[in-house]
Chain A
């Protein structure tokens, strides 16, 4: 671990040698932020964190203005905080937690603040509930303490949306337990019954065991099976045969037939099939639900985009007001480093706005007086006065969310395909049963009911109904282990059939974070040029400044940020300028030919010193992933909101021929619809808010865990570790899953086709039917379990996949 930062694990830079002493040993760190965080953790006596953690910590942002202070103001705090006796209770979402040690660290740190009564931090949901004495400690102090550790807290408010999710999860867990315990009992008895069918059994004991099975199965069906009946009822009321209908019909009929046979002492019972089916389906849904909860919800995502408060200007008086209190026509002051609270026009000052999250543009856009700014964008250069033109629901962000809702209503077209197959099967079975019933009514009415039930029971339960859920559950669990959450049940099927992959650029194929890619110097040492540049850039909230973050810098004075141009300041004895060639040229004179025009320049009075090449570096695994997806038959395509030059560069270095630049969210959606009209089944991959509608509307979509919450809430798959590398393996596993589902369906259909007529004609003795039934189910389950093995890696893969650490940019 000598070449990686002790705190965040990122590679150590060459030049600045920053160390921190922990447990009496000197440890190297990569940047000032990491040093501050490591020292803080050591000084408050939480050094154990470094021994227990299982993943490196997020890289702390170098502290800017104290944005938390406003949270201590009563009118801001009041709507966010609940009461518990004399204590105040607040719910936070803490971004940047990597493992359980992180939440331990946060919990311990908060617990040591005076006035904090209790701090519960849940690493699985990234939520924290803190109860504190408002007279002893302020909300701002808590938030500051969390931010100082390198995490990003977001205040969720007093009513936690998570409470709903918790309730849902608890109910599901109880249902699962009832089904699981019931299954164990019924299976145990079923074993005895099967052996009895072969070896012969006292009819009294046989009837007794059947009645016990009935007694156990009834509560399982009523309590644990309730979601299927509720779902089936809801979809029937909407005049649409959904996925729940065949399930509900299947378990209800199998149960009814078994109960009838038990009470009339005739025929076979299928209680084991009923409970096993309910249990496995519930298990699948439970895994899916956990994934959905982790992926977050849309409402929260919006909350995190727009700040909670704004500085309103009334005449010359500034006042902090909640964003909800703003109206169109108000004037607000937006300091550098804060997000714009609503859409508006700049009336005073000039700045640059980072709109990457909303438009996909990787570099900030210069905004002078009269320019329009959008809510949620980051003001990255200088304070500006904005006259608001649209607030709340009429902002651009709210528009994207509406686009998202539209995309969702168009989605069911694909979902219906899966439903249609189920409908087809159920209708065939029902028609077949009706035919049998009609025939038997003509031949021998006394046997009609029994024969009809036989048809329904033999066709419906067991293998055929287990074929799909077992395979999907096994595959979902395998993907979750690899860091890929499946949030929608039919996502795997769509993933297997996808033939086009639509990539977003910024943050998806690229890191979305500026990197220093090259330095050209002129009459100055490389190290000193970097140090001067870093000193000046420290003063800037401009995203480009992040490229210099890891470099140790001497102090700079008299620093002035010129939006859209560069930074001027004094380092040591001389004045320097860093920025565009024109800006530097005003101080340094005409540009020498050996320094090319592009990039960021550094100069002093009368001399040009250096040129820095700064780019949005591609993810190290991007090219490999694109190649592998191509070899799997998926055609890659880039759809970006960024500038054509940047998109072309990324496309050519990845070898992607088709790319589209400068697309608004609505354009991306239109492109997707064009592709789909051409018959393509599109896999969309993205991370930003501007990708959300596309992700929602695509046949299947993947969001990166490092991206915006809105994108994650819209996608079918979420890559938790924020890397693309798992995608080709996921496609392969999805294809294997559909193949196994097909094998399972084929096998069980064949079994049913053979067994049904034979059993109906009385040619199959009970023991053979029992053996065949069990073997058939067992075969299906074992076949599905093959998916639980980790997906096989392609042979021509470079050793050890490159791990891309996300310092959670944005």
Chain B
């Protein structure tokens, strides 16, 4: 069972990484609008003007 002395801290490191990724995504505004980006793929041609 001594393996848990390695695996649990390792799991916590992974959790820390997941949290960091989530924080980054929140800060990037990815959770501000969960609906309309799904619709943007339905538009056939890219909108004119500079890229978003």
| A interface residue numbers (CB < 8 A to B) | 48, 52, 100-101, 103-104, 107-108, 111-112, 114, 116-118, 120-124, 166, 169-170, 173-174, 177-178, 181, 184-185, 189, 202, 205, 208, 212, 215-216
Contact = CB atoms under 8 A, between A and B. Distances in A.
Contacts of A108: 43, 47
B5 A104 contact: no
Nearest to B32: A166
A212 to B, nearest CB: 6
Interface string B1-45: 100110010011001001100110011000111111011101110
A100 B36 contact: yes
Contact of B1 (A170, A174, A202): A202
Contact of A117 (B4, B12, B18, B49): B49
A655 B17 CA distance: 63
Contacts of B39: 52, 100-101, 103-104
A48 B42 contact: yes
Given A173-B26, A173-B31, A121 B19 contact: no
Contacts of A104: 36, 39-40, 42-43
A107 B36 contact: yes
Contacts of A114: 48
Contacts of A103: 35-36, 39
Residue from B1, B23, B43 having most chain A Cβ neighbours under 10 A:
B43
Given A118-B52, A185-B15, 13 more contacts: A48-B42, A104-B39, A104-B42, A104-B43, A112-B47, A116-B49, A122-B32, A166-B32, A173-B31, A174-B22, A181-B15, A184-B15, A185-B11
B15 A52 contact: no
A114 B50 CA distance: 11
Contact of B38 (A100, A117, A205, A216): A100
Contacts of B35: 100, 103, 123-124
A185 to B, nearest CB: 6
B13 to A, nearest CB: 12
Contacts of B27: 170
5 contacts: A100-B35, A101-B39, A120-B33, A122-B33, A169-B32
Interface residues of B, number: 30
Residue from B15, B43, B48, B49 having most chain A Cβ neighbours under 10 A:
B49
A579 to B, nearest CB: 46
A153 B48 CA distance: 23
Contacts of B44: 48
B46 to A, nearest CB: 9
Contacts of A48: 42-44
B26 A170 contact: yes
B12 A122 contact: no
A112 B26 CA distance: 29
A506 B40 CA distance: 39
Nearest to B16: A181
A455 to B, nearest CB: 32
Given A48-B42, A116-B49, A118-B52, A185 B12 contact: yes
Contacts of A181: 15, 18-19
Contacts of A120: 33
Contacts of A184: 15
Nearest to B8: A212
Contacts of B40: 104, 107
Contacts of B52: 118
A169 to B, nearest CB: 8
Given A173-B31, A177-B19, A205-B4, A122 B48 contact: no
B36 A121 contact: yes
A123 B33 contact: yes
B1 A205 contact: yes
A208 B36 contact: no
A117 B47 CA distance: 10
Nearest to A101: B39
Nearest to B11: A185
Nearest to B50: A117
Contacts of A212: 8, 12
B12 A216 contact: yes
A478 B34 CA distance: 20
A132 to B, nearest CB: 10
Contacts of B36: 100, 103-104, 107, 121-123
Contacts of B11: 185
Contacts of A185: 11-12, 15
A16 B44 CA distance: 35
A124 B38 CA distance: 13
Nearest to A216: B12
A137 to B, nearest CB: 11
The 5 closest A-B pairs by CB, nearest first: A111-B47, A104-B39, A100-B35, A122-B33, A103-B36
Nearest to B48: A112
A121 B32 CA distance: 11
A543 B31 CA distance: 42
Nearest to A116: B49
Nearest to A121: B36
B5 to A, nearest CB: 7
Contacts of A208: 4-5
Nearest to A212: B8
A122 B40 CA distance: 12
Given A52-B42, A174-B26, A124 B34 contact: yes
A508 to B, nearest CB: 29
A711 B35 CA distance: 27
Contact of B33 (A52, A111, A124, A215): A124
Contact of A177 (B1, B8, B22): B22
A145 to B, nearest CB: 14
Nearest to B28: A170
A625 B27 CA distance: 44
Contacts of B48: 111-112, 114
B23 A174 contact: yes
Contacts of B15: 181, 184-185
A108 B43 CA distance: 8
B41 to A, nearest CB: 10
A108 B52 CA distance: 13
Residue from B5, B23, B33, B36 having most chain A Cβ neighbours under 10 A:
B36
A202 B4 CA distance: 13
A48 B43 CA distance: 8
A216 B8 CA distance: 11
Nearest to B9: A212
Contacts of B42: 48, 52, 104
A197 to B, nearest CB: 16
A116 B5 CA distance: 58
A122 B43 CA distance: 17
Contacts of B50: 117-118
Contacts of A112: 47-48
Contacts of B43: 48, 104, 108
B2 to A, nearest CB: 9
B44 to A, nearest CB: 8
Nearest to A115: B49
Contacts of A116: 49
A492 to B, nearest CB: 26
A112 B44 CA distance: 13
A211 B49 CA distance: 57
A16 B49 CA distance: 41
A174 B48 CA distance: 35
Contacts of B38: 100
Contacts of B18: 181
Contacts of B31: 170, 173
A169 B33 CA distance: 12
Residue from A48, A116, A170 having most chain B Cβ neighbours under 10 A:
A170
A178 B19 CA distance: 7
A116 B15 CA distance: 42
A340 to B, nearest CB: 36
